[in-house]
């Protein structure tokens, strides 16, 4: 068997900056972490879906609009069992 060398890692000292020294518990107590995450998610949804909540807009897709083609047929239908559906 061959001898194994132990590698020594030189620990380079890095200067502390915001990313290295950031600790969330300094800003928010631990018992409020879950509440903070939930609030952040809600705020992101409100920003992303802003036109839906505050602009009075709705989702309109092809599936929702496709049923509008049946309105004229249903208005003109005079009873009986129809075998053909446009």
pLDDT digit string, tens, across residues 26-54: 888 999 999 999 999 999 999 999 988 88
Give a yes or no: residue 19 inside a domain: no
d(Cα 36, Cα 24) in Å, to the nearest integer? 11
Give a yes or no: residue 66 inside a domain: no
Give a yes or no: residue 36 inside a domain: yes
d(Cα 86, Cα 73) in Å, to the nearest integer? 8
For residue 78, count other CB atoms closer than 10 A to its CB.
4
User: How many domains, the chain?
Assistant: 1
pLDDT band (50, 70, 90) for residue 78: low
Domain limits for position 34: 24-59
Give a yes or no: residue 55 inside a domain: yes
Give a yes or no: residue 28 inside a domain: yes
């Amino acid at each position: 068997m061959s001898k194994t060398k132990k590698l020594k890692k030189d620990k380079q000292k890095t200067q502390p900056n915001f990313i290295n020294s950031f600790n969330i518990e300094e800003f928010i107590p631990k018992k409020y972490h879950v509440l903070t995450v939930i609030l952040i998610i809600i705020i992101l949804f409100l920003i992303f879906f802003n036109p839906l909540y505050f602009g009075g807009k709705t989702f309109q897709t092809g599936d929702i609009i496709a049923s509008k083609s049946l309105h004229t047929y249903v208005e003109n239908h005079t009873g009986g069992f129809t075998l053909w559906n446009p």
